[in-house]
Amino acid sequence: MRTRDYKQTYRELVALTDSVPVWLWSAILIAALIIAPHILNAYTLSFLTIILITVVGVLGLNILTGYTGLISLGHVGFLVTGAYAYAVLVSKYQMPPIVGFLGAGVIPALASLIVGAPSLRLKGLYLAITTLAFSFIINTVILEARTVTNGARGIAVKRPELFGISFESEAAFTYLCLGFAVLTLFATLNIRRSRVGRAFVAIRDNDIAARVMGINLHTYKLLAFVTSAFITGIAGALYGIYLSFVSVEGFPFLLSIEALAILIVGGLGSALGAVLGTVFIVLLPEATRLVFSLFSTQMDALFSTGAQELKSMLYGVVIILFLRFQPRGLVGLWHDVKRTWVHWPLRY
Amino acid sequence: MQYLVQLLISGLAIGAIYGLIAMGFALIYKSTGLVNFAQGEMTMIVAYIAWSISTSVDGNPFIVAIGAIIAAVALGLVVERVVMRPMLGEPVFATVMVTIGLAVILRSSINFIWDAYPHDLDIGFGRGILRAGGIGIRTGQIAVIATLLALLAAIWAFFRYSKFGVAMRAVAADDRTALLMGISAPRVHAAAWAASSVIAGIAGVFFAISYDLSPAMFQLGLKAFPATILGGLDAVLGSGVGGLLIGITENLAGGYLGSGMKEVAGFLMIIVVLMVRPFGIFGERDIERV
Amino acid sequence: MRKYLTTLSLPLLLAGTLAASDRAFAAEQGITDTEIVIGDVEPLTGPPALLGVAASIGHKIAIAEANNAGGINGRKIKYVLEDDGYVTARTIQGVKKVIEVDKAFAMLGISGSGQSIAVMPVLEKAGIPTVIDVAPVKFLWEPPRKNVFVVGQSYEEGIIHLVTYLAEKNPGKKWGLITQDDDYGITVRDGFDTVVKAKKLNVVYSGNYKKGQRDFSSDMLQLKDSGAEVFLAGGIIAENIAMMKELEKLNVKPVTGIFWPGRIEPVLKLMGPAGNGIYAVDYVEPFASAAGKAFLEKAKPLVSEAEFKGINRYTMTGYAAAKVLIAAIARCGKEPTWACTISELEKTKSVETGVMAPVSFGPGVRFSNQKLQIMQSDFPTLSFKPVN
């Protein structure tokens, strides 16, 4: 077991990881994910798909909120813009899906330039609420631009065919999401270790100090918005394809909140945390359902109509308890476990 | 002219409800530095409790009012003690997320305790319509505007003259120094939560009297957000005024630009205002040091 | 590829063979010697629980009735109900769970219109016999899908029926309309526009409100200002209540029509006297009619007290759909299969449900096209009464 990091060259310092076991476990995880679609049934597989799509979106939010410290309550606005960009380009104008995905990234990125502008002046919760306002305004724009978006009618979306491979089946679609998730993960990990990523973190920790050190706040804050919106837009396209029907209804405000909850539960500012948080939050309702099924007969008799609400209440309780006892998130928990493992029986 | 006056009156009436909830937001922000995302849910719960009381005592307005206030105080204190107090000293972001968890629980408790049907809060008051020169207003709407104005005056006096009000301001300004001066921060927080819950509850009851009581009522919290941002998150009185401004803006937009604009008018307005004053119209500018 | 991968490791191989054997031995999923599983996904939490719970109660009544009569050819029906909270992604997962994990034999429901549309590919791919009852929209039966049947009437036809009736009753009057800014609102608007063109109606006000809006003061003021005499209130529940109260405040009382999603009795209490005499259209019987009373009589012993309070028009539509489905499975005899159930559903001809006109499908017809009737509210008794 390693106890310390001894880094001697710059190359080692910026390497993704210098640990062979990390590479090994990652490879095993990827292999497991590649095999999974062939053995899971459609229901279990749908969880995997949702997790992968959510990971993409949450990693996008993580760049803005986790790295740069700009809280966004309106990220669902980028999600819905991405989904519509894809749907309009592919379903309406019969463009190839690859163009659709590109548009799903670029169009929200352009929109984020407008949304990001106030961030140059606003801070903290004021900025959060401005982004919230933008997500409502984006919905109104989509509903009003009937000629392009079909308004409230929505657009039906088919599973795509890329490079001659059809992603029609559930398993194939999961692979597509897996591909995007892995790509996004590498992209964000690399951004974090680059000059740009370090600038983001400097802005998060203290923006005035960052400016003193020569970081152009305007450029980097907007860059954070653009990158974040690009990735979230791609997630929106995937989500739209998963729903097979894109409408404003399918992207409720709740998704913004859920994405933030995932970041907090996972551990703010960590890509690993974003992944762990996603798995936790997506599977939580299923876990509460399992707990309930243990007592299902008594429960059903007790509160015939209220049992379902009790489940959602339990969801809230778990989130509160989690934040109460592990406010650094799952990543914090993971570090604690690792440290205990290394130092045991000593405490430090 | 009559058209404009009617729009303004309706705007003030709905704006007063936004303003009350916004004051609830600001009270908590001012004393604890948190945004309470469960404000709309607390509004709804108090209104439902008031409805339960009204159905069992045949709608006697005094018993309903007293019962609802006691329930609101209890709700605020319980939330502060059980949910928020243990989070003292944790990162602000995590604490704000706790209020989101709380919102989920409170929202679900409506269908759990009551049901999903719309209900009618009838306390024998507030339904009457006053008419003058072709303009109509319900007595309940006049009452909510009057309540907001009275509360604005009362809270101004409270912060200005009462010892506890000064203590709350001290905690808000600098909780450590306040602690050294012998002010109990937890007690101030508890008072803020209780007061915020009561003010939000008043808004909920008035809303239920003028409109209806349904599990979708929590959305009022979202509608009051622009009001508190407009007024300034830390400005209790400013948030109340912000509510009135948002209410009027919405109705003018709805009346002259068409109904599609009504719901986003408030949000558009705060973006414009925040670009000019990034801390709200009445908010205080933060001075940052590196 | 698939076979190659499964032979890679022993656990996978085991899982694979288990799955295969499962399929080989069972006659059809969801059927044992004593039980038959019917699945459903509805919003059971949050505000839309109003319709989801009511629909599920309707399904429960029909199922309890069948089970009390000995089940379907000796098999008791097991009802599996999932909550989607009106979130489309959860509807998709719920349907997958009911089909894959609970191994349902057939499905009822399913949630709202947007949700039904989104699960259509899943239903089609699975091929499971499905009867949709909650939100009949054209997309669900045009083009007809082999295994998906819809009991009800389209929103568009409903609105056309209502507006035509009101137009004939109030010739030459000025019209006002307000709709919600979603797919539901658009369908209402489409139906309205059809009649406007056919009857050359004079529309003086046309509003569009955002979902979740409660304060209708400026919208109703515009309506008043326009001088509209006939008004189609395109809200659902709370919206219509708020609109009627606002009109009362503004001291105008146009002839008003509302649509069936908002036609539940508690609305009338909330509207107060302002809601007296409003017109509504529906394809199920009002509870004040003889058929409606008989239905409540029948339901009373079959459901709990809390459930009885949750009964509304969606209970009737749910009951009718479940009744049609159960009858079709029963006609398949001892060993019902999906293919047989689908072909029997297709042969459904004038099945009496007691809550709406007889239900029929046909070859290539997946939509029962229910007969509509106009009703009018009566404030003193808080009920809707048929109008002839």
In chain B, where are the structural domains located?
2-221
Pairing of strands C106-109, A155-156: unpaired
Using DSSP, state whether C137 is helix, strand or coil.
coil
* CB-CB neighbours of B132 under 10 Å: 8
Q: What is the 3-class SS of A186-244, one letter each residue?
A: HHHHHHHHCHHHHHHHHHHHCHHHHHHCCCCHHHHHHHHHHHHHHHHHHHHHHHHHHHC
Span B11-59, pLDDT tens digits: 999 999 999 999 999 999 888 888 898 999 999 999 999 999 988 887 6
Assigned superfamily of C156-282: Response regulator (3.40.50.2300)
Mean pLDDT over residues B173-182, rounded? 81
Q: Which of B245-249, C199-203, C210-214 has the lowest mean pLDDT?
A: C210-214
pLDDT for position C135: 86
- Same topology, domains C31-153+292-346 and C156-282? Answer is yes
Radius of gyration of chain C from Cα atoms?
Answer: 23
Mean per-residue pLDDT, B1-14: 90
* Residues with Cβ within 8 Å of residue A300, at least 6 apart in sequence: A307
Nearest 5°: the CA angle B173, B176, B177 is: 70
Mean pLDDT (whole number) for A144-149 = 84
The answer to whether residue B249 scores a pLDDT higher than 80 is: yes
Between strands C76-83 and C106-109, the pairing is unpaired
pLDDT at B33 (0 to 100): 82
Nearest chain C residue (CA) to A255: C87
Q: What is the pLDDT of residue A4?
A: 62
Handedness of CA A113, A117, A123, A124 (dihedral sign): negative
Asked if residues A276 and A266 have their Cβ atoms less than 8 Å apart, the reply is yes
For the cut 80, the answer to whether the pLDDT of residue C218 exceeds it is: yes
Report the gap between the CA of B25 and the closest CA in chain C (Å): 21
Q: Looking at the predicted structure, is the pLDDT value of residue B124 above 90?
A: no
Identify the residue with better confidence: C322 or C334: C322
pLDDT at B248 over 90: yes
Least confident of A27-31, A344-348, B164-168, C58-62: A344-348
CB-nearest to B93 from A122, A144, A264 is A264
Put simply, the answer to whether B259 touches C222 (Cβ < 8 Å) is: yes
Beta bridge partners of C376: C279, C385
C126, amino acid identity: A
Predicted pLDDT at C3: 40
The number of CA neighbours under 13 Å toward the Cβ of A325 is 6
Q: Is the dihedral of CA A214, A217, A218, A219 positive or negative?
A: positive
Which of the other chains make 3 or more beta carbon contacts under 8 angstroms with chain B?
A, C
Contact A144 B260 (CB under 8 A): yes
The answer to whether C266 and C226 have CB atoms below 8 angstroms apart is no
Residues of B in contact with A280 (CB under 8 A): none
What does the pLDDT average to over B222-233?
A: 87
CB contact under 8 A, C306 and A305: yes
- Per the DSSP assignment, residues forming a β-bridge with C35 are C76
Does pLDDT of C24 surpass 50?
Answer: no
pLDDT on residue A48: 92
Q: Of A272, A91, A66, which Cα lies nearest the Cα of A185?
A: A272
The proportion of chain C whose per-residue pLDDT surpasses 90, expressed as a percent, equals 32
The two tokens of residue C141 are 């039966």
Closest CA to C385 of C235, C268, C213: C268
Yes or no, beta carbons of C47 and B216 under 8 Å apart:
yes
Calculate mean pLDDT across residues C124-153. 89
| Residues C239-278: tens digit of each pLDDT | 899 899 889 888 899 999 999 888 888 888 888 888 899 9
- What is the 3-class SS of chain B, one letter each residue? CHHHHHHHHHHHHHHHHHHHHHHHHHHHHHHHCCCCCCHHHHHHHHHHHHHHHHHHCCCCHHHHHHHHHHHHHHHHHHHHHHHHHHHCCCCHHHHHHHHHHHHHHHHHHHHHHCCCCCECCCCCCCCCEEEECCEEEEHHHHHHHHHHHHHHHHHHHHHHHCHHHHHHHHHHHCHHHHHHCCCCHHHHHHHHHHHHHHHHHHHHHHHHHHCCECCCCCHHHHHHHHHHHHHCCCCHHHHHHHHHHHHHHHHHHHHHHCHHHHHHHHHHHHHHHHHHCCCCCCCCCCCCCC
Chain A residues touching residue C93 (CB < 8 angstroms): 43, 46-47, 50
- Could you say which DSSP state residue C72 is in? B
Virtual torsion, Cα A242, A248, A251, A253, nearest 10 deg? 180
Alpha-carbon distance of A338 to A333, in angstroms, equals 9
Q: Which residue of B has its CA nearest to A318?
A: B101
Of A231-245, A279-293, C5-19, C37-51, minimum mean pLDDT range: C5-19
Cβ C118–A305 below 8 Å, yes or no? no
Contact B118 C237 (CB under 8 A): yes
The per-residue pLDDT for range A91-134, each reduced to its tens digit, is 889 889 899 999 999 999 999 998 888 777 777 777 888 888 88
Residue B56, class by beta-carbon neighbours within 10 Å (0-12 exposed, 13-18 middle, 19+ buried)?
exposed
Least confident stretch, A192-206, A305-319, B78-92, C253-267: A305-319
Mean pLDDT (chain A) is 85
Residue C11: pLDDT above 70? no
Give the residue-averaged pLDDT of A272-295. 83
Q: What is the pLDDT of residue C20?
A: 42
- Local confidence band at B289 (pLDDT 50, 70, 90 cut-offs): low
Q: What is the pLDDT of residues A153-177, one digit of tens each?
A: 888 888 888 887 888 888 889 999 9
Interface touch B255/C222, C-beta < 8 Å: yes
Q: Convert the pLDDT of each residue in C282-305 to its tens digit.
A: 999 998 888 999 999 999 999 888
The predicted-structure confidence for B92-103, as pLDDT tens digits, reads as follows 778 888 898 899
pLDDT at A165: 81
SS3 per residue for chain A: CCCCCCCCCHHHHHCCCCCHHHHHHHHHHHHHHHHHHHHCCHHHHHHHHHHHHHHHHHHHHHHHHHHCCCCCCCHHHHHHHHHHHHHHHHHHCCCCHHHHHHHHHHHHHHHHHHHHHHHHCCCHHHHHHHHHHHHHHHHHHHHHCHHHHCHHHCEECCCCEECCEECCCHHHHHHHHHHHHHHHHHHHHHHHHCHHHHHHHHHHHCHHHHHHCCCCHHHHHHHHHHHHHHHHHHHHHHHHHHHCEECHHHCCCHHHHHHHHHHHHHCCCCHHHHHHHHHHHHHHHHHHHHHHHHCHHHHHHHCCCCHHHHHHHHHHHHHHHHHHHCCCHHHHHHHHHHHHHHHCCCCC
In angstroms, the CA A37 to CA A27 distance is 17
Task: Map out the domains of chain C as residue ranges.
Answer: 31-153+292-346, 156-282
Do residue B271 and residue A261 have CB atoms under 8 angstroms apart? no
Q: Is C356 helix (H, G, I), strand (E, B) or coil?
A: strand
Query: What confidence score (pLDDT) does residue A122 get?
Result: 79
Position B146 pLDDT exceeds 90 = yes
DSSP designation for C370:
P
C53 touches chain A (CB under 8 A): yes
Span A306-322, mean pLDDT? 79
Give yes or no for a contact between B41 and B218, defined as CB atoms under 8 angstroms apart.
yes
Chain C residues within 8 A of B259 when measuring between CB atoms: 178, 207-210, 213, 218-219, 222
CATH label, C31-153+292-346, candidates 3.40.50.720, 3.40.50.2000, 3.40.50.300, 3.40.50.2300: 3.40.50.2300
Mean pLDDT over B89-94 rounds to 78
- DSSP label at C47? T
Report chain A residues whose CB lies below 8 A from the CB of C118.
243-245, 250
- φ, ψ (nearest 5 deg) of residue A326: -145, 65
CB A291 within 8 A of CB A230: no
Contact residues, B window 113-142, toward A, CB-based 8 Å cutoff: 113, 115
pLDDT at A136: 87
Q: Please report how many Cα atoms fall inside a 13 Å half-sphere around the Cα of residue C98, on the Cβ side.
A: 33
pLDDT given at position C9: 43
Contact B216 C213 (CB under 8 A): no
CB-CB neighbors (< 8 A) of C242 in chain B? 211-212
The pLDDT of residue A80 is 94
Asked if C319 and C298 touch (Cβ cutoff 8 Å), the reply is no
